[in-house]
Structure 1
């Protein structure tokens, strides 16, 4: 035997109920087949024994599972053995990439170990004779809800989000959101969400590879490759333990180097120098060349282990330097400051860590299509899959990586610090090779909650709350294992535990206190959370709860979905107090859904545009949230079925590389532009500039002007408009239109409820372009504000290429519709298919 050998053991598992409350379903005494990776919920759903929690009353029907103990069993026999008989003394280990969460691992009658952390791998040495003896591998797990209750009884109560309504989840190193959140249900599961494998090796093996970029400019990149090794003294041989690195660049150049292990060290250090490097850049800034890195671990001439991965050459910094207005917060890549346009990412689906790779990649593609360049992996979920980070590496999506702490106080007494240190150690080693990860962050809203939500005053001063993790343990581990990336103690963070974490002049901010146009009252240094709720598409809702609850078709029929509202204050706080101000009431269900979704789209536009226009002060804007976990009210831009909400389209427009927008400055209304490209945009009037028109609702020009507007590369520009041009005679009947180089902007002088937008009218022309693809030409007879096609209203898999458009009378919009076998004009004119904001004002009242 030379190289480490691996055999995946994901097959032949069964799961059996062991104890807990009365079981409402009939289960075989010897259990049921289990899919690994997976969880018990998915097994029972797959076998038709359990209703999916996202369907009907499925959430209530599955509540017993979280209070039930379960055991996973797999026999080990001679067929599972790897390695030759003469290697009987070789190390043989069972490895679990993840176990969710509390229990023990057994081999026959022997307890291999106790487990209580979902977020790191578990590795157990087993004897060679285990295979011949036909021993059974078992993972016995305790119901997470019952386990939380036992820990509260043992350790005492402590503050967490929702005043503990979701359980004191901070006592388990498990995805916090599985116990419920303000956008998701309570359905904590348990199981084996990672691969299980058998490994056999001698002498030494590679534990992790950390390729850290220490220098990277257009002339030279230096890659410090740290090869973490684990040794077995019993099978160790004489001679040097060496690691060789081979780096192949996309242009075919090859660079090689070697390092020798110090007998006392747990890693081998190798330096690779790459002249004239092909650098990795965030999307929109350059390419994403990925280099193939191969590592061999050798004793003398014998190869003991091999590792291969892809790396990107770039260097990262976080600029938090002082300036006259406070302190900056800006990600810097390869020496260039970024304005980060992006979103927060939650676990895809209801069972964190189990989403299929193709589904995760599809969501990342939607981030790319929305012109995003950053995703924040939020601390209430899980460290994401290899497929997630690979996709971000390949697409130039920067990743803000939280450690898994969210909106809670965390115990600092044993056994927690040791478990959390092992978790952080494992995840940094696991993820360090990914070029996309640009920031380690201690967690989400933990310091904010302790300081600003009244928890500090409620708690005994002697009770720990997690400060040690955010200010000592996590930064120490990050600095030791990965000094190539910046570390942020928590989000939001303003420099110290004693400072207000949400100070707009320092650090990042979570802006939940300003909505819609009120966001213009403040320019934070970086907004890492903002958002507004919206329901899913109607088709998505009907798939979850059925059509019958909506049969009345009145606005009040939305009450059938009230059980899916987990946000504070319900619909009144999340929607109605805003919609009562912005829109006239609807007369039917589709009208109410449209207003709820349109409100989110407006809020998204306001925030992205405002912060991008002030990118000289603000370093980024991350909407809460990109994706969804179930069919409920939430802040997501894409619902659980993958259907973009109107807000996704507004984000796509507001995050385009070049943005033209009206704004408000000290002198009044301005025309402003963002140029996030490497070329100058615009110029004098003779070279295009920008044309401003004030028009009436019929599209007739009332006044016009041509202005010089030259925007430098990666810059912004704003020009105040003269009062004679922008002051309307009748603000309810007029609007401003700006045009420059194919880009447009609109300014309406009031809220829709007050504007005299005409009843929408348009002509349609439909042509088949290919099988299940149609080209639709829409010609506006009237002004059409926020023209939107509900994809789900046309079919299950319908997608369009353009949406949420504003048209003046006589203008034409083209839309390509995919996923329908036939399409007639009547299909598009049905209620709920094509909507406009015109319907939300006086002329459309009652729609």
Structure 2
């Protein structure tokens, strides 16, 4: 197999639509892989699509067509040699031609396309063209032909196989990308090639690793005898493909393999896998990956509470600590391996062990999965369907089946891949969102979730579990158990944020909460780099364009009001809403973890952003951690102390998500905000590994004389819980409780903050002073007399006075007026 990439020398030009005069008729250099938006911006023809109001200025691209062109030069195919044109990702609807001769048509950005180019490039030269039609217009035409199906967008994204959030979402821009978004190449081969390689990895009872390699081949010589060899960890085996056969199975058994574990449960050993296709003249094709040995199931056996949803790895039940994942940039070709590595390091640094790849995005890349393999991050991969009814006509069904078969087979080697899921909120939508009347009995996607996808997974990857949707109640018909029932399977909790205060998280004990969250603005640097309103307010035009949620600012205000004083300025509003986001989500996480093993997972909405926006993310669109990420680092910590209501009484719950017993003596103090201890006692705790245990607190510990002046502190010198007896807004905080000093150190600064009175959620918002400045931790609660030293990493020279005062040095206290 010889591969020739076709990435250099492309140009593109507009072919249809409301194209501005300064763009029409121009032949513009194109990057491949790339996007029309990025190349137009690179040529100086449009503003950066993320800047200020640019998104609204670029709607003309929604209905514009483009032609990509490349003059191809290659060695003419020899007799008996195949020459294929391979396009790994076309966004989205296109005719592919050489010298005007159409090789094929694409209508699915989630698929790889392969065209026989022997005749078209028989001379070794040709003009390759890809004519892209507007995906929006194609979707409108398909919707008219199939009949409209309900969805949650202004555009019929559910009628075309394109990333749903490309059409805008309640956190994403409506920019509707177009282009060649994955590699393009020529492949020349003889006799046969490896079409797909599926690697089914299991572990036998005696600890032997079993790798079952299913190699499907495409033949150009049906009479040739072929062999497939597979090698793992120095163990090699072969299988023969007699003339006319197209698949072989080679089984490799590796004795005494080291098991792959999720982060926090063990190591992540990876083994090289090499598959070769042999013919009479030698090696014809190769396939190389890494794999890991582990078993994964989901326990859904009914119990006294309903239907659990517990991920089990290597026989061990796992509490899934993590977040939902969206594409890390709306322009997918800008997502590099290094960028993914940073994002995954941020997740693991917050003690996460699972990411759910959400159904409005894409099947994630090999880089993403490789990095998750290395870091021990379990991946829940949705099939890309979200918040809509999907027609089950033959054309769309064919596209779904083709993409599912490609990606299920592709991802089999990755030990991080734990679960296939039918889609996002579509079962729930059918039941509750008013779809049934307009559907009037027409298909809406149920056949995908209950027939096509589980059948493909069972056929191609029986080593992994499948769930029909998120949320879903596995094993129960829709008309018998609601898909969002808290007692069965997975649940999305969106009453909090949409309607209720975050304290309402405690009203439900789900078996697995796969979505919940609360909004907050991006970091100050990210916000002001992209939004240029003067003055910057919550109602200024640029800010509102970068706040996509329905009544988002209203919900932020209602979420803040019961907990914190009314902000005195936009600067205070920015800090307060970030703080409420962090508080709300951590509150939910601690509640869910306190109910382990009844509740077996908490996946926050969402880890990341795809552009600079006010959203539910813990990491903003420029990759900067918001206070929420630091709050999650505490809430997901391996050992957690949290005060939770049990039978109407505040109760200490100790959560031990480590492999060792936690035996400790806890110091219990009820103290005034000035540090005066009103009650002190001790509590012995002996918490088994991987468990949560409720510990009763005494009446004196829970009975303040003045709720506004006292707090409860429980700690063992390493792990601490702080419980207030009133809302923050009602506590008698000292606004000047925190003072600080700063000193230059190699690589940045040390800022030592000291509290003269109880100081909650102390933070250093260093990005306000330099783009690269980032604190090592945040949201540190200081008792009177305590100090904490923050490390700020930066290459910049910073003003130490600015580092040690507002608006950089903040706490809850700083929101109160003297």
Deviation at 1:766, TM superposition (A): 2.3
Find out whether 1:494 has 2:488 as its counterpart: no
Do the aligned residues in 1 keep the contact of 2:83 with 2:187 (CA within 8 Å)? yes
Q: Which residue of structure 1 lines up, in the alignment, with residue 302 of structure 2?
A: 322
Residue deviations 1:29-51, cap 9 Å, x none? 35211101111111111222111
Q: Is the 8 A contact 1:690 1:739 kept in 2?
A: yes
* 2:269 is equivalent to residue 289 of structure 1: yes
Q: Which residue of 1 aligns with 2:490?
A: 508
TM-superposed CA distance for 1:209, in Å, is 1.9
Distance of aligned partners of 1:218 and 1:678 in 2 relative to their CA distance in 1, 3 Å threshold: farther
* Partner residue in 2 for 1:148: 139
Q: Are 1:71 and 2:57 counterparts?
A: no
Does structure 1 conserve the Cα–Cα contact (< 8 Å) formed by 2:492 and 2:515? Answer: yes
Q: Where do 1:21-170 residues align within 5 Å?
A: 21=18, 23-24=19-20, 26-27=22-23, 29=25, 31-77=27-73, 80-81=74-75, 87-127=78-118, 130=121, 132=123, 134-162=125-153, 165=154, 167-170=155-158
Are 1:16 and 2:2 an aligned pair? no
- In the superposition, relative to structure 1, how do residues 138 and 543 fare at CA in structure 2: closer, same or farther (>3 Å)? same
Q: Does 1:647 align with 2:628?
A: yes
Cα drift, residue 624 of structure 1: 0.4
The C-alpha deviation readout for 1:1-25, integer Å capped at 9, x for no partner, is xxx111111111111100111x225
Give the whole-Å Cα distance in 1 for the aligned partners of 2:421 and 2:782.
43
Q: CA deviation at 1:261?
A: 2.4
User: Once superposed, what is the RMSD of the aligned Cα atoms?
Assistant: 1.7
What is the match of residue 742 of structure 2?
766
Provide the rounded CA distance (Å) in 2 between the counterparts of 1:172 and 1:837.
47
Q: Which digits, 9 at most, give the CA deviation of each residue in 1:189-221, with x for residues without a partner?
A: 111000001001111111222211233456222
Change (3 A) 1:342 1:585: same
For residues 265 and 599 of structure 1, do their structure 2 counterparts lie closer, same or farther at Cα, with a shift above 3 Å needed? farther
Candidates 247, 256, 260, aligned match of 2:236: 256
Deviation at 1:804, TM superposition (A): 0.8
The answer (yes or no) to whether the contact 1:444–1:491 under 8 Å persists in 2 is yes
| Match in the other structure for 2:444 | 465
The equivalent position to 2:535 in structure 1, one of 549, 559, 562, is 549
CA distance in 2 between counterparts of 1:563 and 1:129 reads: 47
Matched, 1:670 2:651: yes
User: Contact 1:788 / 1:805 at 8 angstroms: preserved in 2?
Assistant: yes
Is residue 59–residue 186 contact of structure 1 (8 Å, CA) maintained in 2? Answer: yes
Q: Which secondary structure does the structure 2 equivalent of 1:432 belong to?
A: coil
For the Cα contact (< 8 Å) 1:777–1:813, is it kept in 2? yes
> CA, structure 1 residues 693+267, in 2 after alignment: closer, same or farther (shift >3 Å)?
same
- Cα distance, 1:547 vs structure 2: 5.8
- Whether contact under 8 Å (1:193, 1:354) holds in the other structure is no
SS state at 2:360 partner:
coil
Return the alpha-carbon distance in structure 2 between the equivalents of residues 780 and 347 of structure 1: 41
Tell me the distance in 1 between the aligned counterparts of 2:331 and 2:604.
23
Q: Please list every run of 5 or more consecutive structure 2 residues that lacks an aligned counterpart in the other structure.
A: none
Q: Deviations over 1:82-123 (max 9, x none)?
A: 77xxx3221110000011111211111211111100001000
The equivalent of 1:685 in structure 2 is: none
Answer yes or no: is the 8 Å Cα contact 2:751–2:804 preserved in 1.
no
Q: Deviations over 1:124-160 (max 9, x none)?
A: 0012672536321111111122222333333332210
SS of the residue aligned with 1:832? coil
> Separation in 1 of the partners of 2:416 and 2:282?
34
Distance 1:318 1:263, change over 3 A: farther
Cα pair 2:275 2:287 within 8 Å, conserved: yes
- Paired residues of 1:93 and 1:125 also in contact (CA < 8 A): yes
The equivalent residue for 1:179 is 167
Deviation at 1:642, TM superposition (A): 1.1
**8 Å contact 1:764–1:825 — kept in the other structure?**
no
Q: What's the counterpart of residue 228 of structure 1? A: 216
Q: Deviations over 1:451-500 (max 9, x none)?
A: 11111133211x11111111101111111000000011111111333331
Structure-2 residue corresponding to 1:355: 335
Aligned to 2:703: 727
CA–CA separation in structure 1 for the residues paired with 2:238 and 2:299: 34
Equivalent residue in structure 2 for 1:383, among 350, 363, 374: 363
Question: Does the aligned pair in 2 maintain the 1:175–1:352 contact within 8 Å?
Answer: no
Q: Does 1:703 align with 2:682?
A: no
SS at match of 1:272: strand
State whether structure 2 residue 182 is matched by structure 1 residue 200: no
SS for the counterpart of 2:561 is: helix
1:602: which partner in 2? 583
Please, which of 730, 742, 757 is the counterpart of residue 718 of structure 2?
Answer: 742
Could you tell me how far 1:765 is from its partner in structure 2?
A: 2.7
Greater shift, 91-100 or 823-832, is seen at: 823-832
Change (3 A) 1:406 1:428: same
- 2:642 and 2:245 mapped to 1: Cα distance? 57
Aligned residues of 1:203 and 1:237 also touching (Cα < 8 A): no
Query: Which of 447, 453, 457 is matched with 2:427 structurally?
Result: 447
State the secondary structure of the residue aligned to 1:595. helix
> In the alignment, what sits opposite 1:241?
226
Secondary structure of the residue aligned to 2:535 is: helix
Match of 2:593 in 1: 612
Q: Return closer, same or farther for 1:225/1:564 CA change in 2, 3 Å cut-off.
A: same
Give a deviation string over 1:788-840, Cα, whole Å, max 9, x none: 11132121011111211000111010111111433443112443211111234
Q: What is the match of residue 809 of structure 1?
A: 784
1:540 to 515, 519, 526: 526
Alignment size in residue pairs: 811
Shift in Å, 1:431: 1.1
Instruction: Give the secondary structure class of the aligned counterpart of 2:335.
Output: coil
Whole-Å separation in 1 of the counterparts to 2:527 and 2:186: 43
Matched position secondary structure for 2:258: coil
Q: Which residue is equivalent to 1:562?
A: 544
Q: Does structure 1 residue 524 correspond to structure 2 residue 510?
A: yes
- What per-residue deviation string (whole Å, max 9, x for no partner) do you get for residues 255-306 of structure 1? 1111122556532111111221111111111111100011111124621111
Structure 1 length-normalised TM = 0.93
Q: Which moved more, 1:394-403 or 1:783-792?
A: 783-792
Q: Structure 1 residue 357: deviation in Å?
A: 2.3
Whole-Å separation in 1 of the counterparts to 2:328 and 2:357: 11
Pair 458,353 (structure 1): closer, same or farther in 2 beyond 3 Å: farther
> 3-state SS of the aligned residue for 1:147?
helix
Once the 2 structures are TM-superposed, how far is the Cα of residue 353 of structure 1 from its aligned partner?
5.4
**Which of the residues 639, 642, 647 maps onto 1:658?**
639
Q: Structure 1 residues 747-756 or 131-140, which shifts more?
A: 131-140
SS of 1:60's equivalent in the other structure is helix
Which one of 569, 575, 591 corresponds to residue 556 of structure 2? 575
Closer/same/farther in 2, CA of residues 301 and 563 from structure 1, 3 Å limit: closer
Structure 1: how far apart are the matches of 2:243 and 2:708?
Answer: 80
Q: 1:352 to 1:453 in 2, by over 3 A?
A: farther
Contact 2:272–2:290 under 8 Å retained in 1: yes
Is the Cα–Cα contact under 8 Å of residues 5 and 185 in structure 2 kept in the other structure?
Answer: yes
Q: Which residue of 1 aligns with 2:760?
A: 785
CA distance in 2, matches of 1:324, 1:69: 58
Gaps of 5+ in 1: 249-253, 683-687
Are the counterparts in 2 of residues 752 and 838 from structure 1 also a CA contact under 8 Å? no
The 8 Å contact of residues 789 and 803 in structure 1, kept in 2 or not, is answered as yes
* In 1: Cα distance, 2:368 partner to 2:559 partner: 36
Whether the aligned pair in 2 keeps the contact of 1:353 and 1:384 (CA below 8 Å) is no
Task: Name the CA distance, whole Å, in 1 between partners of 2:287 and 2:146.
Answer: 43
Show the counterpart of 2:4.
7
- Please give the secondary structure, in 2, of the residue aligned with 1:484: coil
In structure 2, what is the equivalent of residue 333 of structure 1? 313
